[in-house]
Structure 1
């Protein structure tokens, strides 16, 4: 399940909704009563298979990511502060400013200005770091993960199993255990690989994330675009 498509909202909006519903109403799944910057248990580095995003979104896809001159493979979707159960969101509203040089420097890893800014507002503000330090942390997290050689370039549709993808990442990253990684999919395509890291960016177990792994036996990886 793609977390950025979830129905969670900032606490103020949730509280307003609960008041309208009346006493006894429950918070939506995953929501928490307070989201405090710096208060979380571990990170989730989410790597999106860019060709799937481009195929799914079609003409609505970000041109900076999906035009043929930009043949992206795995890109950083986000580095998400996470609780053992649930996650914080939108911990500062409005979010502090992201310096333009910092924003531009992230486009090689997160190929959309809109994505960079959205990830900062929704997730980065919960890290307890300023924008410069948070995106430096994103770079460090991405550098800590080796993309398996078979998935660095794909020029035609490839059928895989979630287990094959997970095994390849584990083989390429010593210390990465089965309960530290999750492979996500839609009904037929690989969408993301999620890897859990502690606050020092060492691989860490994450039962809730692992439990949400793709259950489809065979999924397709669309090919990268020419460039």
Structure 2
């Protein structure tokens, strides 16, 4: 299975790949696009994908505006990832039947259900359109480099004090970063979040 993730949040991109591998019990190839250079260099328009994830908090609107030919192919589901405060998205009539909107704070089990069940337009904040266009703005509410590095080290089993020392930050600052990521990922329990990290792996190209 091949999936396309449009946006700058690498942690979420790897997270959905991990979740789909668990759901379908098969290998999932992740193609991530953060800018126009990625879009062109990876031959994005000429590939086919089972799922396309569009992070409207960090997606470059130009890329979304040029995705129609890809999204109109045999894609199982188009997943718009929105911030906590929902944002209306213009979606072409031809794409409505396979589009869903999820919150970046959604719990993992809820996400799995949404990915597996048929799309229900009435439950989404999607606007029917005869044109494929974007009307959303970029947001800074994405996983930044410090947060991503904390996740990498925690996933490798490093302790908070070691992480703080390597990053030249206080223990309190590291705990604050972890708390922000946990809430963004929709984990209510600290133990559930730590268990997820223990099974999480970063794959290098």
Q: Which has the higher contact order (CA 8 A, sep 6+)?
A: 1
Normalised TM-score (structure 1):
0.31
Normalised by the length of structure 2, the TM-score is 0.33
Higher helix residue share: 2
